[in-house]
A and B are shown apart, each in its own frame.
Chain A
Amino acid sequence: KNEVEQSPQNLTAQEGEFITINCSYSVGISALHWLQQHPGGGIVSLFMLSSGKKKHGRLIATINIQEKHSSLHITASHPRDSAVYICAPITQGGSEKLVFGKGTKLTVNP
């Protein structure tokens, strides 16, 4: 069983729709990154959060440490949001490391 499970694996939406991507993890973590990867490989960290909720523009990330679950929401989706979104928890302990989900490929059609 993977340490990090994301759903859905693929998601196609129409412009303007509300998007939710879910992440469940089995390891103890200190925080979690949501990453965005565009074709060609470039990765950007959208959020790092350890509790509650963060908002940046049309993006909202939530985390429930007790339930080992995080969600990424995109409001009023736009074709430029098309990318792979990756959940990456940071493991606890002296040797912190990122573990990664396989990613959710989002396509937003105009």
Chain B
Amino acid sequence: DAGVTQSPTHLIKTRGQHVTLRCSPISGHKSVSWYQQVLGQGPQFIFQYYEKEERGRGNFPDRFSARQFPNYSSELNVNALLLGDSALYLCASSPTGRAVSGANVLTFGAGSRLTVL
């Protein structure tokens, strides 16, 4: 069974451009969450989606948006890119929308490394 897959793995953009990052969860997982990890720092929570609805949002500007599709895959969109958006963007999937449940397993993808020039 494939793990959480993210695409693209690496990409380079220039300031002001737009980027779309994609995440496919583990089969059977209905929740997807997105995180930003700037070099040398711990990840920061951006969004959580469950059953195609936004369940949580971190402290990120409106330039950041996301959605979840009927097949539970997800996209993260960032508009008007800034140099400070350069980071590793991580996606994680879990079976349910509740973080704490007996069978919950949080599985991360390998990430999409975005460089903004």
Task: Identify the A interface with B (CB < 8 A).
Answer: 4, 30-31, 33, 35, 40-45, 48, 50, 86, 88, 90, 95-103
Residue of A nearest to B45 (CB): A97
A-B contact pairs, 15 of them (CB 8 A): A41-B90, A41-B111, A42-B110, A44-B108, A88-B43, A90-B99, A95-B56, A96-B56, A96-B99, A98-B35, A98-B43, A100-B42, A100-B43, A100-B44, A101-B42
Alpha-carbon distance between A101 and B41 when the two chains are bound, in angstroms: 8
**Contact yes or no, B48 A97, CB < 8 A:** yes
From A30, A48, A98, give the contact of B45 (CB < 8 A): A98
Task: Identify the B interface with A (CB < 8 A).
Answer: 33, 35, 37, 40-45, 48, 55-58, 88, 90, 92, 98-100, 104-108, 110-111, 113
From B33, B90, B104, give the contact of A48 (CB < 8 A): B104
Residue of B nearest to A87 (CB): B42
